[in-house]
Amino acid sequence: MLSRTADNLYWLGRYVERAENTARLLAGTQRLSLMPIPTDEAGNLWRNLFQSEFEENAFLAKHSEFSETPVMEYMALDPENPSSIYSCVHGARENVRAARHVLTTEISQCINETWMEVKKCRPQDVIDRGTQNYLDSIKERAHLFRGVVHGTMRRGEPFMFWELGAALERAENTSRLMLARSAAFHRAAKRDDGFDFYRWGTFLRTANAYSAYRQLYRDIDPVSVADLLILNTQIPRSLLSCIEDSAEVLRNLKREAQCAAMAERLASELRTMRLDTILRSGLEGFLHDFRKQVHVLSDQIRVDFIMVR
Amino acid sequence: MRPFDEMLETDGTVRMAYAQFGEWLEGASKEFLTRKNDEADMMFRRLGITFTVYGDAAQTERMIPFDIIPRILDPQEWDYLARGTIQRVDALNAFLDDVYHDQAILKAGRIPPELVLNNDAFRPEMLDMDLPRRIYAHIAGVDVVRTGPRDFFVLEDNVRTPSGVSYMLENRQTMMRLFPELFATNHVAPVERYPSELRANLRSVAPIGVDDPTVVLLTPGQHNSAFFEHAFLATEMGIELVEGQDLFVDDGLVFMRTTEGPKRVDVIYRRVDDDYIDPLAFRSDSMLGVPGLLSVIRRGRVTLTNAIGTGVADDKAMYVYVPEMIRFYLGEEPILQNVPTYSLRNKDDYKYVLENLESLVVKEVHGSGGYGMLVGPKSTKKEREEYTKRLKADPDAFIAQPTLALSTCPTYVDEGVAPRHVDLRPFVLSGQRTTVVPGGLTRVALKEGSLVVNSSQGGGTKDTWVLER
């Protein structure tokens, strides 16, 4: 398979996941904002969606304050924001176009229809429809897209590169999400129950893990939430699940590739870890380290498959 | 006088080819057609069949309008067209092989040598190269117009990188979905085998000694106006769709970069123009080509389709000589006629054209896509004056033809169904044999009275039916 096409499929997987993730993040934040929360926290609620000073500055160049309407507009609809839902869907569509010859008509149609919807959406439309309805529709389109890929696509290399992109993007998303709340997990480790049921519930929904949590654990406590999102392989977005999925795809793609060994190593390291050790040595440090390793893995995948000669 | 209509005789009776269809159309209400037209529009949008409009600052993606009323040809008409277009393409291939080898036709004085040898599209790099099966134009799109029951004229021979065949295939798909009942009553010859025929042809011209050739389609990329077609054909043929950056030359061979490492490529169906194909040989600023490709072609280790240098055969100045080529190489009389053409390099013609601009169509010798032409009868005095300046500055760069009364075909428009002018581009494939799939691309000028069918100038397309005996 052409290396460039593999790259297109990989990014297709990433973009669709990222669009859905942003939608879930915005929906969760909006739900949180409906709760009475301390004013200092409320002030940071929308700001916390930005991960770095660089991202914050890009936002501040266009808007004056971190409040719901401008953040929502910037993260959902702004074509100039490279990680907005708009940009992700556009990116997904460009990759579908470029790799169209290895995709099915159903996949092209699904992404084209999504793009036509997203493209024509103006801030006022979102307000008129209701923000949650708009974000729900993005999530639904992502679910539909995954279903169409699973239901129509040949299980060959193109499919595997799509799976790989999706799995790694999930790993990044979940770790990002936890990092944004890592302080809260620490307070929990010190038995400081600052976060209430509602807020952890919202957090779990943002990670698409609420119902799984209710089935696997009883009461909501932060340590169990961390356990689920890091080490439990029954949910598709835990860090371990994502890495195991990636390792499996790479094993099937090319067992002898360096990146396959690297993913295998990362998975077995995680598998032997215990949550209390992670919390004791510091969740934030663990997550940063994890993210670094995922980046190194992505780079090695490029070297092994994409940058031929 | 009213132009020839594909469906109706002058007295209003329905022609043979349209007998079944005419009855159906009579029973179709305006509302029904409007609904079907909207449905068709939606189907094309969902499939993402768009093209890019050049010269438009935004490079907007647009759809070529699809018309739901088919253009129908009866078996005799098609037989005549098929024989005529095949004959023409055979002669053009013989001509190309000749001008890049012995140049017998030039030595015989049948074509002025300077017209060939000084032509920008003539590539000395191709001299004395023996191509597999001696074929240069593996894919040709011959544009034909009609003015009467048996009066077909060839407007131009496209033997560089002709496009439009994906519309022939998609239009048929769309029609079969919209109007299944029509295909039950009309025996329409299928066009679906085109991609597999093309694939077989491409494989048949692989370099000597390659038994199971790897064929790829080379596209300029997704911002090219015909990208949809490139992706479509690659999918249909089950071959890789590559860009220049995906290929490289090493050790006298061409390779593509794959996830399993470099893989040898044997046949390249290219949709990139000569000028951009190899920055080491032609335009050095090209990012679309493959450095060193020409050297591999010259050693016969990769086949390029169409070959480099085919443009010397479909040049508008060379067009005049195609009937002569048919006589010279095939010893036959041309089946299809040429449109009378005035070359402005010729003094008498020059004078005639300047005096009769109002009734002529003037085209640039190297132009295409309907850009830069003057349609005399539709032009304003000011436009003609402007154009005259250009003609005087460089007469060699222009030809002129009488304005033909192109045939019309019933077409769905806002007011209902009305006649609009059409042309036809059948696609001729050369490999083991020369063949033409029964059908082609019918282009229609949607503006009332307009004679310009190019998609870049507001033209649309129709499904083309060839009825079976």
Q: Which of A1, A2, A109 sits opposite B47 (nearest CB)?
A: A109
CB B451 within 8 A of CB B421: yes
Per-residue pLDDT, averaged over A229-253, amounts to 96
CB contacts, 8 Å: B222 with chain A: 94, 97-98
Q: C-alpha dihedral over A128, A133, A139, A140, to 10 degrees?
A: -110
Q: What is the largest CA-CA distance in chain B?
A: 69
Best mutation target, A4, A89, A164, A254, to test chain B (most B CBs within 10 A)? A4
B128 φψ region: left (φ > 0), alpha (ψ -120 to 50), beta (else):
left
Per-residue pLDDT, averaged over A261-268, amounts to 97
> What whole-number distance in Å separates Cα of residue B273 and Cα of residue A202?
57
CB A162 within 8 A of CB A13: yes
The closest of A32, A61, A67, A77 to A46, measured between CA atoms, is: A67
Q: Which of B47, B222, B258 sits opposite A3 (nearest CB)?
A: B258
Would an 8 Å CB–CB cutoff place B380 in contact with chain A?
A: no
Please answer yes or no on whether A94 and B235 come within 8 Å at the CB atom: no
B462 φψ region: left (φ > 0), alpha (ψ -120 to 50), beta (else):
beta
Of the pLDDT bands very low, low, confident and very high (cuts 50, 70, 90), residue B369 is low
Would an 8 Å CB–CB cutoff place B359 in contact with chain A?
A: no
CB contacts, 8 Å: B245 with chain A: 4
**Å between A293 CA and nearest CA of chain B:** 23
Q: Is residue A84 part of a domain?
A: yes
Of the pLDDT bands very low, low, confident and very high (cuts 50, 70, 90), residue B370 is low
Best mutation target, A101, A117, A159, A307, to test chain B (most B CBs within 10 A)? A101
CB B432 within 8 A of CB B204: yes
Residue B51: pLDDT above 70? no
Query: How high is the pLDDT of residue B255?
Result: 97
Please answer yes or no on whether B222 and A97 come within 8 Å at the CB atom: yes
Question: Model confidence over A50-60: pLDDT tens digits?
Answer: 878 899 999 99
Residue B58: pLDDT above 60? no
Would an 8 Å CB–CB cutoff place B48 in contact with chain A?
A: yes
CB contacts, 8 Å: B258 with chain A: 1-3, 308
Would an 8 Å CB–CB cutoff place B240 in contact with chain A?
A: yes
Of the pLDDT bands very low, low, confident and very high (cuts 50, 70, 90), residue A191 is very low
CB B142 within 8 A of CB B88: yes
Q: What average pLDDT does the structure give for chain B?
A: 92
Q: Which SS3 state, helix, strand or coil, does residue A208 take?
A: coil
Q: Which of A4, A161, A254 sits opposite B246 (nearest CB)?
A: A4
Question: Model confidence over A156-184: pLDDT tens digits?
Answer: 999 999 999 999 999 999 998 898 877 77
Domain count within chain A:
1
Residues of A near B (Cβ–Cβ under 8 Å) read: 1-6, 94, 97-98, 100-102, 105, 108-109, 112-113, 116, 157, 161, 253-254, 305-306, 308-309
Query: How high is the pLDDT of residue A129?
Result: 87
Query: How high is the pLDDT of residue B99?
Result: 97
CB contacts, 8 Å: A2 with chain B: 240-242, 246, 256-259
> What whole-number distance in Å separates Cα of residue A86 and Cα of residue A90?
6
- Tokens 């005096």 -> residue: B355
Per-residue pLDDT, averaged over B157-165, amounts to 94
Residue A221: pLDDT above 90? no
Question: Minimum mean pLDDT among A67-81, A201-215, A293-307, B410-424: which range?
Answer: A201-215
CB contacts, 8 Å: B227 with chain A: 97
Cis peptide before B306 (omega within 30 of 0): yes
> What whole-number distance in Å separates Cα of residue B258 and Cα of residue A2?
4
Residue of A nearest to B250 (CA): A309
Query: How high is the pLDDT of residue B168?
Result: 95
| Residue A94 lies in domain | 3-304
CB contacts, 8 Å: B58 with chain A: none
B255-281 burial by CB neighbour count: b if 16+ within 10 A, else e?
bbbbbeebbebbbbbbbbbbbbbbbeb
Would an 8 Å CB–CB cutoff place B60 in contact with chain A?
A: no
CB A220 within 8 A of CB A213: yes
Residue A192: pLDDT above 60? no
Residue B335: pLDDT above 90? yes
Residue A25: pLDDT above 70? yes
The sign of the dihedral angle between the CA atoms of A265, A270, A273, A276 is positive
Residue A43: pLDDT above 80? no
Please answer yes or no on whether B257 and A94 come within 8 Å at the CB atom: no
Q: Which of A2, A97, A306 sits opposite B242 (nearest CB)?
A: A2
Phi, psi of B355, rounded to the nearest 5 degrees? -80, -20
Per-residue pLDDT, averaged over B22-26, amounts to 94
3-state SS, one letter per residue, for chain B: CCCCECCECCCCCECHHHHHHHHHHHCCCHHHHHHHHHHHHHHHHHHCCCEECCCCCCCCEECCCEEEEEEEECHHHHHHHHHHHHHHHHHHHHHHHHHCCCCHHHHCCCCCHHHHHCCCCCCHHHCCCCCHHHCCCCEEEEEEEEEECCEEEEEEEECCCCCCHHHHHHHHHHHHHHCHHHHHHCCECCCCCHHHHHHHHHHHCCCCCCCCCCEEEECCCCCCCCHHHHHHHHHHHCCEEECHHHEEEECCEEEEEECCEEEECCEEEECCCHHHCCCCCCCCCCCCCCCCHHHHHHCCCCEEECCCCCHHHHCCCCHHHHHHHHHHHHCCCCCCEECCCEECCCHHHHHHHHHCHHHEEEEECCCCCCCCCEEHHHCCHHHHHHHHHHHHHCHHHEEEEECCCCCEEEEEECCEEEEEEEEEECEEEECCCEEECCCCEEEEECCCCCCCCCHHHCEEEEEEEEECC
Tokens of B81: 């067209």
More confident residue, A292 or B42: A292
CB B70 within 8 A of CB B439: no
More confident residue, A140 or B372: A140
> What whole-number distance in Å separates Cα of residue A75 and Cα of residue A134?
13
Q: Which of B46, B222, B239 sits opposite A98 (nearest CB)?
A: B222
Question: Model confidence over A89-125: pLDDT tens digits?
Answer: 999 999 999 999 999 999 999 999 999 999 989 988 8
Question: Minimum mean pLDDT among A293-297, B73-77, B272-276, B371-375: which range?
Answer: B371-375
Cα atoms found within 13 Å of the Cα of residue B198, Cβ hemisphere only: 27
Question: Model confidence over B240-272: pLDDT tens digits?
Answer: 999 999 999 999 999 999 999 999 999 999 999
Please answer yes or no on whether A6 and B259 come within 8 Å at the CB atom: yes
Q: What average pLDDT does the structure give for chain A?
A: 91
Q: Is residue A309 part of a domain?
A: no
- Tokens 């897209």 -> residue: A145
Q: Is residue A19 part of a domain?
A: yes
**What percent of chain B clears pLDDT 70, i.e. is strictly above it?**
96
Pairing status of strand B267-270 against strand B51-52: unpaired
Query: How high is the pLDDT of residue A190?
Result: 47
Q: Which SS3 state, helix, strand or coil, does residue A197 take?
A: helix
| Residues whose CB is less than 8 angstroms from the CB of residue A12 and which lie 6 or more positions away in sequence, other chains included | A92, A95, A96, A99, A162, A165
CB B314 within 8 A of CB B130: no
Q: How many CB atoms lie within 10 A of CB B305?
A: 26
Would an 8 Å CB–CB cutoff place B248 in contact with chain A?
A: yes
Q: Which one-letter amino acid corresponds to residue B422?
A: V
Question: Model confidence over B81-135: pLDDT tens digits?
Answer: 999 999 999 999 999 999 999 999 999 999 999 999 999 899 999 999 999 999 9
Q: What is the pTM of this model?
A: 0.87
Tokens of B143: 């544009």
Give the CA distances from residue B175 to residues A22, B45, B167, B172, in Å, rounded to whole numbers and listed in that order.
Answer: 41, 15, 12, 5
Q: Which of A4, A108, A253 sits opposite B48 (nearest CB)?
A: A108
CB B298 within 8 A of CB B306: no
**Å between A163 CA and nearest CA of chain B:** 16
The closest of A186, A171, A172 to A282, measured between CA atoms, is: A186
Q: Which SS3 state, helix, strand or coil, does residue A2 take?
A: strand
Q: Is residue A218 part of a domain?
A: yes
Residue B295: pLDDT above 90? yes
**Å between A94 CA and nearest CA of chain B:** 8
Question: Model confidence over A251-264: pLDDT tens digits?
Answer: 999 999 999 999 99
Tokens of B197: 């025929």
> What whole-number distance in Å separates Cα of residue B190 and Cα of residue B437?
8
